[in-house]
Structure 1
Amino acid sequence: MAYNTRAFTIQVSTDGTAWTTAVTVTANTDGVTTHAIAATTARYVRLTATTPTQGVDGATRIYELEVNGT
């Protein structure tokens, strides 16, 4: 699917200032992706799209970001 986000990172932080990269994706071709990360302490999560789509469209489409923890 040409509209799927091609490249992105997911980062975590305890304070919203210092960020640690938990996931780096550079060549996504999936419509839905799941990324399990090692247990970590974090209060904030951010997703940064670095390549918006697999085609030439410049729009990034993120329909859902779900974070689960205990």
Structure 2
Amino acid sequence: MTATITRPKPKKAATSKPQSPYKRLHVIIPDDVDAAFNRAVEASAVILVVPKQKPWGQKVGYVRDLDGILIKIASLI
């Protein structure tokens, strides 16, 4: 009787990218950023950044929904 002993192949190191804390980002472009932001907050979204006017003219705010999805509410540029 003969036995064959094999060594398992070494596993390759996983090439992982840095994980973002945000799994998804949804962008909403409403006519009225403030009204859309307020509706999201009334629907239990968590405020991350209140809408602010950016130097390039865009108004942007961020909330997180109950599933943890990041939502950007922004005007067109």
Length-normalised TM-score, structure 2: 0.25
Question: Over alpha carbons, which structure has the higher Rg?
Answer: 2
Length-normalised TM-score, structure 1: 0.27
User: 1 or 2 for the larger relative contact order (CA 8 Å, sep ≥6)?
Assistant: 1
